[in-house]
Amino acid sequence: MDLTRRRMMQQSAALAAGAVALPMAASRAAGAGKRLWKVSLCEYSLHRMLSKKELDPLDFGPFTKKTFGIEGVDYWNSPFGGKAKDATYLAEMKKRSDGAGVVGGVILVDGEGNLGDPDDAKRKTAVERHHKWIDAAKALGCYAIRVNARSHGTYEEQMKLAADGLRHLGEYGKKNACGVIVENHGGLSSNGEWLSAVMKMVGMKEVGTLPDFGNFGQYDRYKGVRELMPYAQNVSAKSHDFDAEGNETRTDYYKMMTIVVDSGFREWVGIEYEGGRLSEVDGVKATRDLLAKVHAKLSA
Task: State the Cα–Cα distance between residues 176 and 295, nearest whole angstrom.
Answer: 34
Per the structure, the count of domains in the chain is 1
Task: State the Cα–Cα distance between residues 243 and 227, nearest whole angstrom.
Answer: 28
The radius of gyration of the chain from alpha carbons, rounded to an integer in Å, stands at 18
Q: Which residues of the chain have pLDDT under 50?
A: 1-28, 31
Residue 247 structural domain: 2-298
User: Residue 240 has what pLDDT?
Assistant: 98
> Buried b / exposed e across 231-256, counting CB within 10 Å, b at 16+?
bbbbbbbbbbbbeeeebbeebebeeb
Task: Dump pLDDT digits (tens) for 59-82.
Answer: 999 999 999 999 999 999 999 999
CA-closest candidate to residue 72, choices 40, 27, 116, 46: 40
How many whole angstroms from its chain centre is CA 246?
23
In angstroms, the first-to-last Cα distance of the chain is 28
Helical axes 120-140 vs 87-99, angle rounded to 10°: 40
User: Residue 140 has what pLDDT?
Assistant: 98
CATH number where 58 lies: 3.20.20.150
Continuous segment of H or E residues that includes residue 273: strand 268-273
